[in-house]
Amino acid sequence: MWIDTHCHLSAPEFAPDAAAVVARARAAGVGQMVLPAVDTADFPRVQALAHAHGLAYALGLHPLALDALADRAAETAALDALDAALHAAREDPRLVAVGEIGLDHFVPGLDRARQERVYAAQLGLAARHGLPVLLHVRRSADSLLKHLRRRPGLGGIAHAFNGSAQQAQAFVDLGFALGFGGALVFERALQLRALATGLPARALVLETDAPDIPPPWLYRRAEQRAAGLAHGRNEPAELPRIAQTLAALRGWDAASTAAHTTRNALAALPRLAGLCGERPPPHPIP
């Protein structure tokens, strides 16, 4: 079985055919998907999709959604809403993490002070509710790690990781798995491929970030790009094909790759094991 540890099934791109997307994923062998929320309006959507299709979900405030908050009062209200939603779902086995949370130092013009405040507060909520976290890491690894060191024992997944080897090892040392997806397939992604090759096997999980980060076979021809079609929609059904690159880099076959990454996902998100009919493996994985 494959697990897509990060899939935005609640995104508008999937509104017309979410059930068909899930069916295609399952036909491809993707037995479970984790649906992270991005803002408070997204909470009921990810919960409804998870329950409708037998999936897992996470609740959190994405750093790119924070500039929509008008002021500090709105920021506090959003955090209070997250706290209340986590409390209300405390008995829901499909709630497996707080996420997607983190810091984005790539997009210009964002309020970094606000991002850091809200990130730190969400780590506190994760600790209070006993949940791991799904981290947005974009040119922000050191700042993320600074706060994680103040909250030892949280664990979770650093989603779409593309930092240095030293930063990667720091996340692993704190009990985190690192998410690899469509970006790994690009032949020029040399640093990312080096990470996927050299990290401990226990550190690797797979994701699509669908509908985003499409693998190269979903990109359009030049004439299509000229017409405004940069790429096709990524889907969780693409995960097994993405995994072929990880298998080649590690010298694994498909079955070993599925076994390693599934076990790692269950260790990083222990509640996920119950949804898969298994016990969580030890964490960290030996």
Contact status, residue 172 vs residue 141, Cβ threshold 8 Å: no
Residue 207, annotated as binding a ligand: no
CA 228 to chain centre: 28
Tell me if 91 is assigned to a ligand binding site: no
- 159 annotated to bind ligand: yes
The tokens describing 208, both together, are: 């699509």
Sign of the torsion angle spanned by Cα atoms 251, 169, 120, 126: positive
Per the annotation, does 136 bind a ligand? Answer: yes
Q: Is 209 annotated as a binding residue?
A: yes
- At position 208, the amino acid (one-letter code) is T
Q: Are 175 and 283 in contact (CB under 8 A)?
A: yes
Contact 264, 203 (CB under 8 A): yes
Q: Does residue 6 have a known ligand-binding role?
A: yes
- The two tokens of residue 97 are 């993490």
55/49 Cα distance (integer angstroms): 7
Count how many Cα atoms sit within 13 Å of the Cα of residue 93 in the half-sphere of its side chain: 8
Binding site for a divalent metal cation, by residue number, is 6, 8, 100, 136, 159, 209
Q: Indicate the annotated binding residues.
A: 6, 8, 100, 136, 159, 209
